[in-house]
Amino acid sequence: MFLFLLWLLISIALVAVLSFLFLRQWLLSRKNKLHTSSENGINVGIFHPYCNAGGGGERVLWCAVRALQEKYQNAKVVIYTGDIDASPNSILQKAKNVFNIAVDSDNVKFVFLKQRHWIEAKNYPHFTLLGQSIGSMVLGLEALCRFPPDIYIDTMGYAFTYPLFRYLAQSKVGCYAHYPVISTDMLKRVQQRQLSHNNKKYVARNPFLTWTKLAYYRVFSRMYKWVGCCAETIMVNSSWTENHILQLWDVPFKTHRVYPPCEVSHLKSLQHTEKGDEFIILSVGQFRPEKDHPLQLQAIYELRTLLAQDEALWNQIKLVIVGSCRNEDDYERLKNMQDLTKHLSLENNVQFSVNVPYEDLLKLYQTAHIGIHTMWNEHFGIGIVESMAAGLIMVAHRSGGPLLDIVETSAGSQNGFLATDAVEYAENILNIIVNNSEMNGIRSAARASVERFSEQEFEKNFLRAVSTLFTNT
């Protein structure tokens, strides 16, 4: 029996090695053919399965594509996407409409992936991180077989695809990390048995399940470190993300802080046309669970309590929540928030605007007074920067990128406000409303502070970070 098991293990290992060598040889042969057909140009593959989503990550994608096209005119840009229900023209047109970014359509090729369902969280009610990571390898393998590139850049954070491209296709690998998929903060929340969108009540209340989840997170962290180290250049979008990536991956010489591109120049020139009969509080962000939109509704509920003696002013206040929906889960969350609005009797003071065109968003910026953002440990906060550039007084969460990189609350240099719970948000909003005429100094400081987050700064720093990938390619 022992000899049989040994023979079986050796056979399995031999088959695995031979399969790896055969697949690598086939991919390298295919890569050489593609390279020859592109007239000795460089094939740059960008992995962005949700390129048509319309969020901040997609602005990074399209600014990166535009920068690569302008710098490396002999490069062919290939985008791996799972948006099989959209055409290339409609995707590019949406980038123009939503972000005001135009790229050379003749130099962009889309590889439409059919296995995107492998990375959707709804398919993994348990062990979601591991499930999505393995799923990303399936999706990455499909992308690799469809088009093996010379340079591979991941702009969505699917680190488990890196070893596939590096070792199978011998591609040079780079990445832009919006946030680490696991962090020491997540470990602390589980260890302290705190409830959150990724730490359910039944886990937090059970010591054994908490211990099991901690062990799972620690093993996953080690795996995450190994795949992350397969990247040759690593771009991070904020100080918070940089700190966590350095803790997890320990790659100080590969890491570059590249703030995400924010459309600030045009927004800074907007003239406000505030409505006299409305005081608009604007929220901009995708309808994802971590954005914590319910906290915004709770803050408005607390604000109504603070204004109990001033019904006329309360009737002037309106929270406008602008966001994009990527899939059915996002639309379900939107429906739940609309139901919560009715439950809190806020339907006359809250408005939801879904997938709005860029021109309509500009009009909202011009009529709004206050910006609100409630995500805990937001990795950066493009929506925060753009709201500040548009002249809104920002109230953001006291954590992550807003705390470390964007919002300054010190006297003399204040450019916004920070809060942690619904009551504190409501108090800050009321302070801004009551002292609105005295907020011009903060508004001016906010607009002056956002220039370091411009699209021009992003493109310059992005090209510097990826330049090593183009050396000897």
The answer, yes or no, to whether residue 288 has pLDDT greater than 70, is: yes
Per-residue pLDDT band for 24 (boundaries 50, 70, 90) equals confident
Provide the residue type at 157 as one letter: G
pLDDT for res 385: 93
- Taking phi first (over 0 means left), then psi (-120 to 50 degrees means alpha), and beta for anything else, what does residue 472 get? left
Is the pLDDT confidence value at 273 over 70? Answer: yes
CA distance 171 to 44: 9
CATH number attached to the domain at 264-453: 3.40.50.2000
Q: How confident is the model at residue 284 (pLDDT cuts 50, 70, 90)?
A: very high
* DSSP-derived secondary structure for 79-109: EEE--TTS-HHHHHHHHHHHH-----GGGEE
In CATH, the architecture of 17-260+456-470 is 3-Layer(aba) Sandwich (3.40)
The residue-averaged pLDDT of 276-302 equals 91
Which of 373-385 are b and which e, b meaning 16 or more Cβ less than 10 Å from the residue's Cβ? bbbbbbbbbbbbb
pLDDT in tens, 72-85: 988 899 999 999 99
Section 417-433 average pLDDT: 96
Asked if residue 397 has pLDDT above 70, the reply is yes
**What is the Rg, in whole angstroms, of the alpha carbon atoms belonging to the chain?**
24
The pLDDT of residue 275 is: 63
Q: Give the residue-averaged pLDDT of 451-468.
A: 93
What's the average model confidence in pLDDT over 405-423? 93
- 96 has a pLDDT exceeding 80: yes
State yes or no: pLDDT of 35 exceeds 70. Answer: no
Span 89-106, average pLDDT: 90
Q: Residue 436's pLDDT band (boundaries 50, 70, 90)?
A: confident
Single out the residue of 166, 135, 138 nearest to residue 151, CA to CA. Answer: 166
- Token pair 């992005």 is at which residue? 462
| 30-37, long-range: CB < 8 A, 24+ apart | 30/148, 31/148, 31/149, 31/150, 31/169, 31/170, 34/147, 34/148, 35/150
How much of the chain exceeds pLDDT 90, in percent? 60
> What pLDDT is stored for residue 195 in this prediction?
66
DSSP-derived letter for residue 392 is: P
**From 20-29, 168-177, 200-209, 293-302, the region with the lowest mean pLDDT:** 200-209
CA 147 to CA 108: how far, in whole Å? 13
- Mean per-residue pLDDT, 183-202: 71
Q: What is the mean pLDDT of the chain?
A: 89
pLDDT surpassing 70 at residue 1: no
Per-residue H/E/C for 223-254: HHHHHHCCCCEEEECCHHHHHHHHHHHCCCCC
Asked if residues 275 and 266 have their Cβ atoms less than 8 Å apart, the reply is no
- pLDDT at res. 162: 97
pLDDT of residue 168: 93
Q: Report the pLDDT value the prediction gives residue 5, as an integer from 0 to 100.
A: 73
Assess whether pLDDT exceeds 80 at residue 297.
Answer: yes
185: pLDDT confidence band, cut at 50, 70 and 90?
confident
**pLDDT confidence band for 60 (50 / 70 / 90):** very high
Q: Are 41 and 74 in contact (CB under 8 A)?
A: yes
In this structure, what are the phi and psi dihedrals at residue 196, rounded to the nearest 5 degrees? Answer: -160, 175
Angle at which helices 56-71 and 382-389 cross, to 10°: 80
Evaluated on CA atoms 124, 88, 140, 62, the torsion sign reads negative
For residues 296 and 352, what is the distance between their CA atoms, to the nearest angstrom? 12
Query: Is the pLDDT score of 359 beyond 80?
Result: yes
Amino acid present at 327: N
Q: Which backbone phi and psi does 84 adopt, to 5 degrees?
A: -70, -15
Q: In this prediction, what percent of the chain has a pLDDT beyond 70?
A: 95
The domain locations on the chain are: 17-260+456-470, 264-453
How long a stretch of residues is the chain? 473
DSSP type of residue 262: B
